[in-house]
């Protein structure tokens, strides 16, 4: 893990990861109010 943290650009990110991130970011920009804050999600998961 330390070697990854030292040179993060050396870790190749698959193109489908980048596409998914772009899709999610576009959805967020289209409707920033959609979704739930992390604290709410965490509370639902942990009870």
For 1-47, write each residue's pLDDT tens digit.
677 778 878 788 999 999 999 999 999 999 999 999 999 999 999 99
Locate all alpha helices (DSSP H) within the chain, ordered by sequence. 2-6, 15-30, 38-46
CA–CA separation, 40 and 38 (whole Å): 5
pLDDT of 8 reads 76
Residue 8 per-residue DSSP state = G
Q: How do the domains of the chain map onto residue ranges?
A: 14-46
CA 22 from chain centre, in angstroms, equals 10
pLDDT of 7 reads 84
Q: What is the length of the chain?
A: 47
pLDDT of 27 reads 96
The whole model's pTM is what? 0.61
pLDDT of 9 reads 80
Residue 11 per-residue DSSP state = S
């Amino acid at each position: 893990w330390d070697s990854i943290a030292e040179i993060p650009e050396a870790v190749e990110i698959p193109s489908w990861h980048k596409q998914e991130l772009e899709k999610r970011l576009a959805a967020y920009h289209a409707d920033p109010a959609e979704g739930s804050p992390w604290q709410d999600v965490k509370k639902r998961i942990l009870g």
